[in-house]
Amino acid sequence: ASAMFLFAVARLLEQRAVGRARGAITALMDLAPDVATLITLQGDQPVPVAQVAVGRRIRIRPGERVPLDGTILSGHSAMNDAPITGESMPVEKGPGDPVYAGAINHHGGLEVRTTAPVTDTTLARILHRVEEAQAARAPIQTQVERFARVYTPLVVALAVLIAVVPPLAGAGGWTDWLTRALTLLVIACPCALVISTPVTIVSALTGAARSGVLLKGGAELESLARITMVAFDKTGTLTEGRPAVTEVIPVDGMSELEVLRLAASVERHSEHPVARAVVEAARTRGLSLAAASGFVALPGRGARAVVEGRALQLGNRQLCDESGTCRDGVHALMEQLESRGSTAILLSAERTPLGVLGVADRVRPGAELAVQALREAGIRQVVMLTGDSAAVAGPVGAAVGVDEVRAGLLPEAKYAAVVELESRGERVMVVGDGVNDAPALAAATTGVAMGVAGTHIALEIAAVALMGDDLGLLAPLIRRARRSLAIVRENIVVAVGLKLVFLVLAATGHATLWMAVAADMGASLLVIANGLRALSPPAADPSGRVRRTRPAAGSST
């Protein structure tokens, strides 16, 4: 009875350990309110979130939590998206931007159109994924359980032999050998061995989710620990995925700000992505745009308009050549910008060039540091796989510090590149947007989709999802995976080692039943406590840099 009581205590502690890990995610569901403020013809009405259909309009007041996923129709505010993306700073949002259930609205009132029912919000999908991940078995976990299935009947058979054979052989009394057999059974109970892996895996998955990284299961965690190469997509991954003005070079003695103001004045009525980038750059610098009349869009070349009484045109090299404004010096400037991966556009008045603007998809802030951190985490090679031309991709690759750039790749070619790299013995992590890179993500040892909060397909295709756009989470994720597998191995060694020691002591009569109970429960408590370490973030050295670990090919640590 005492043994069963102590076993029950150990089991309770095990359940609490697993519950603590899972509770870190299920608690997110409590962040979303149960009631939404529905906008109706009769005014604002509080309605249970379960009754709010997709496409309805709801109001979110300052200081409130977002009840459902949706898209902002009107209003501006800063949103705390930490429960979803792990982003620690509030994000400024306005019309057209997504909001997620559980996020906190800071200072502005918002009108939002719902895009998902309460059962299918991003938070709900995260919880479902974590539940699936907890059910999925890592290879090392199945190995442990296969071992336990063989180990247990062998130990039972050994106990029967110890209880029966020596007394029959006249080596002692039945009571003494029966006690030794019972003691051996208690000691040999593989509780600690069986729970050593799942507690650690669940803790690691939950710790990753807390930081904004969602893994599908323990198998993906084990694959991450063995990654030797990382392949990045370019657009939207290493870059921000939208054009921006990178350089403004005056030609005719005009200031940079004046060139940018006039260019934005020409483009203020255009919907072209390059035009929007020029206008956004001017407004970011606080420039007041002039009125433009007679605006004419020139498809594939640029635009013309009359600004402050001057006939201005803004366009690419083709328009420049057609209008006769491309002097030798202007040609050289445009070629210089294009060599740096920018699209060069010329602002001119009549036949007089005024300035050249460089527009490019800017490198994502922190991308270079993320690549460096991956190397410090033991990744041997970092490559870029992109459909862009080498002229555009090369400068981006050089800016972030990748080892190799493979440009001009269609999705099928990216897939073939990943297969070829893995055929060389590399274990490749592919990081992309989860849609255009689907074949490569599927072929990779581990596929990582980034910036996918609210996107179904990315969560389906990729093994790992970065809920925000922070590439800096990749190196800590790999370190977390390696540390978690190291903890699993530590637990297995502790569990098996203690068992072997006490099995010998029990068989020779030097271990009592109480010692057996204490050893079994102690081993269980030890592996549970050790496994919970996987909840915490991976450690860095005192300088703030990640610890350098360079695994050999095929190694998992």
Q: Which of 225, 202, 222, 213 is nearest to 134 (CA)?
A: 202
**Contacting residues for 270 by C-beta, under 8 A, at least 6 apart:** 276, 295, 297, 303
Annotated catalytic residue within 233, 388, 437, 520 = 233
**H or E element: which one contains 266?**
helix 256-267
Is position 44 annotated as part of the catalytic site? no
Q: Is 511 helix (H, G, I), strand (E, B) or coil?
A: coil
**Contacting residues for 307 by C-beta, under 8 A, at least 6 apart:** 262, 265, 266, 290, 291, 292
Residue showing tokens 């919880």: 127
**H or E element: which one contains 125?**
helix 122-135
Question: What are the backbone dihedrals phi and psi of residue 446, each rounded to the nearest 5 degrees, phi first?
Answer: -140, 125
Q: What is the DSSP string of 190-220?
A: -HHHHHHHHHHHHHHHHHHHHTTEEES-HHH
Q: Count the neighbouring beta carbons within 10 Å of the beta carbon of residue 488.
A: 29
Q: Which structure tokens are listed for 21?
A: 């890990």
Answer yes or no: are the C-beta atoms of 384 and 395 closer than 8 Å.
Answer: no
Q: Which of 253, 484, 235, 457 is nearest to 361 (CA)?
A: 235
Catalytic residues, which ones?
Answer: 233
